[in-house]
Structure 1
Amino acid sequence: MTVPPPPWRRSPSPRRRAEKPLLSRDLVVKTALDLLAAEGFEAVSMRRIAQQLETGPASLYAHVANKEELDELMLDAVLGDVPVPQPDPANWAEQVKEQVRHQVRAMVAYPGIAKVAWNTPVPVTPNSLRQGEAMLAILRAGGLDLKQAVFAGDALSLYAKAYAYEASSWTFGDYDEAEVAERGRQMADYMRSLPAGAFPNLLLSGQFFTGETSKDRFEFALAMFVGGLQSLVRA
């Protein structure tokens, strides 16, 4: 038998649905980055972001002009996690290397964001400018003139983006590992079929192009580049 509640007891109100967070540019960018980290760059679209936020795509355009602007805002947010050191003339070479390492780590943490960096030759968002100025300041503290620092900063940025882009491609399957392995075997067989002694160094080089040597290759290139800058300063 059901007993009704006494009249002085208030009936429980129907459970209200939790209110959605207020839509904002920051929330749109954060949602896009969450998708990027979970599923890769190709999964990020205005429609997917709207679905995640339980709204319509049109409502996003009040905060972000288009997908291109969203891409730049995502890149800027990622670069915002990269620290900016105070230039140290006595330790500038290591600061340069560490700055590139930080940038690569930030881009690899969000696979595909390096593609945005490639497609934005001269980024002018706040954190992009902050990173560019920081690198130039470190290079100039080391003794390079402005022209040398600009050229060096540009080359280091290109290398960081290229390395991060390749790493991201492996993470989200732009390369099929089975196909790559099969192509590797075919290339090895092909090279061995060529006239003896024709390409002795290339035949031995494959052992250095593996996932295990990836970090070593990165650090070697970075050391050679910065070593060259040190020689330039000494000269």
Structure 2
Amino acid sequence: MATARPDGPPPEKTPAPEMPTPPGRKPRKSAPPKRPLTQELVVDTGIRVLDAEGLEAVTMRRVAQELGTGPASLYAHVSGKEELRELMLDRIAAEVRIPVPDPERWQEQLKELAREVRRVYTSHRDIAMVSMGHIPTGPHLLDVAEAQLALMRAGGVPKPVAGIAVDTLGMFLDAGAIEDTVYFTKVSPGEDLWAYFQEYVKQIRDYFAALPPDRYPNLVGMVDELTAEGGDGRFEFGLDLLVRGIASYVEEPPSS
């Protein structure tokens, strides 16, 4: 005969007590809870791998390994390695500080913005490699391009010139950042970069000075001038050259 159950919810089950580890076995480690896999998390992880190991290490397999999952699970958020790297570049571009255009200072502001891009790119290993040959489409990269165009237009640079100059500036900044990264990769961990660079320049000076002067009269005669400036000085010279060239196309003085 069935016994009638009183109304109300069934009694809660008492959780099973935690069992001790049997002798001779290793205690089980409780796995930390996993964060939900999102595109943002995938991109953040890619940047972390980039900063630690360089762009070549950023693969779908490597990022999945960092996230404790399989590469196939990443494809729900990015189409592949190329898109992942482009998303990383755009996320990094968000670190660039954008100036408010001042027509009276547009040339200096254009230089300041260029220095900002260089600072951000070189702080993330060889991320500039992604920018080479890449037309910006991400919102943060477009913010940088829009700011460069706004500064040139505020200074009176004609549209056709500004449209080409923004690309020329991009190539200059990409190449400069990549060259900076190349020097870093040649230095062993713990080795002083400046000491390495000075020794390298000394070797180049000695080599140029030993060249046959009848064949290379200018190289031999300009050893000091060719090796006088370091990376920052050469960057500033190239930047000044570009901005002066852009400014030479201004037909009307800037107006506020």
TM-score (norm 1): 0.82
Aligned pairs for 1:51-66 (under 5 A) are 51-66=65-80
Aligned length: 221
- The answer (yes or no) to whether the contact 1:40–1:172 under 8 Å persists in 2 is no
Q: Distance in 1 between matches of 2:203 and 2:186?
A: 20
Q: Which residue of 1 aligns with 2:105?
A: 91
TM-score (norm 2): 0.76
Give the drift of 1:11.
Answer: 5.0
Q: Distance in 1 between matches of 2:228 and 2:49?
A: 34
Q: Distance in 1 between matches of 2:133 and 2:241?
A: 27
Q: Which residue of 1 aligns with 2:238?
A: 221
Q: 1:217 to 1:66 in 2, by over 3 A?
A: same
Q: 1:170 to 1:182 in 2, by over 3 A?
A: closer
Largest Rg, 1 or 2: 2
Give the drift of 1:193.
Answer: 4.1
User: Would you tell me which structure has more helix in proportion to its own residues?
Assistant: 1
Q: Distance in 1 between matches of 2:211 and 2:247?
A: 44
Give the drift of 1:29.
Answer: 0.5
What's the RMSD between the two structures over aligned residues?
2.9
Aligned pairs for 1:187-202 (under 5 A) are 188-189=206-207, 191-195=209-213, 198-199=217-218, 200-202=220-222
Secondary structure, aligned partner of 2:210? helix
Q: Distance in 1 between matches of 2:64 and 2:53?
A: 16
Q: Which residue of 2 aligns with 1:3?
A: none
Q: Which residue of 2 aligns with 1:32?
A: 46
Give the drift of 1:30.
Answer: 0.4
Select between 133-142 and 194-203 the one with higher mean Cα deviation.
194-203
Q: Distance in 1 between matches of 2:119 and 2:204?
A: 33
Structure 1 stretches lacking a partner, 5+ long: 1-9
The residue identity in structure 2 corresponding to 1:157 is: G
Partner deviation per Cα, 1:41-79 (whole Å, 9 max, x = no partner): 111111111110000011011101011111110110011
Q: Distance in 1 between matches of 2:204 and 2:156?
A: 49
Q: Distance in 1 between matches of 2:181 and 2:99?
A: 26
1:230 aligns with 2:244: no
